[in-house]
Amino acid sequence: MSLRIYFQNDQKKHRIHYQLQMLIRRTILETLAYEGMENDVEVSVTFVDDKGIRELNNRFRKLDKPTDVLSFPLLDYEGESDEPFFDELCHNLGDIVISLERAMAQANEFGHSFEREVAFLTAHSMLHLLGYDHELSEEDDADMRARQNDIMERLGLSVK
């Protein structure tokens, strides 16, 4: 499997370091491995501030408030199977939009590193791109939380 990530920076509050991009790449790869994805994958990751993510959240979800991460999957996973349908050799999964301003605030609030928060948001968003949705039911929420926790543990970034 190969992974191509298209990074875009649409904010000016946080410098985007190479190490942060590599952490995001490692998180995406770990999420794909956890889910058993073997096909070549493309994902875009855009960095924004709270103002930028608020505008997107309002436009696409009709929620006029900032959030930490938005996911824009390119596939619709409805059908007879609970498993996502991947049969193409190269698959563009969709777009991840992360508010680095919100990630920093949440890292401070939860008492862990900015990098850990960005990795968590990336794993969360990747699961959305792969067809999971924690907002459908309590069972779906518990399943997605368990997957996120497993991925973060595999990355060595779990919270005790």
**Structural domain harbouring 88:** 3-154
The CATH number of whichever domain residue 33 belongs to comes to 3.40.390.30
Indicate whether 114 belongs to any domain: yes
Rounded to 10°, the helix 138-154/114-129 angle is 130
pTM value is: 0.90
Predicted pLDDT at 89 = 46
Structural domain count of the chain? 1
Indicate whether 160 belongs to any domain: no
Chain segment 70-101, per-residue pLDDT in tens: 999 987 655 544 554 555 545 899 999 999 99
Rounded Cα–Cα distance for residues 70 and 97 (Å)? 5
Predicted pLDDT at 82 = 53
Indicate whether 94 belongs to any domain: yes
Query: Which is more confident, 52 or 37?
Result: 52
Predicted pLDDT at 137 = 85
Indicate whether 100 belongs to any domain: yes
Indicate whether 96 belongs to any domain: yes
Predicted pLDDT at 97 = 98
Indicate whether 11 belongs to any domain: yes
pLDDT beyond 80 at 2: yes
Token readout for 69 is: 């991460």
Indicate whether 107 belongs to any domain: yes
Chain segment 89-135, per-residue pLDDT in tens: 458 999 999 999 999 999 999 999 999 999 999 999 999 999 898 88
Indicate whether 159 belongs to any domain: no
Rounded Cα–Cα distance for residues 114 and 107 (Å)? 5
Give the residue among 71, 72, 54 at the shortest CA–CA distance from 63.
54
Chain segment 135-144, per-residue pLDDT in tens: 888 998 999 9
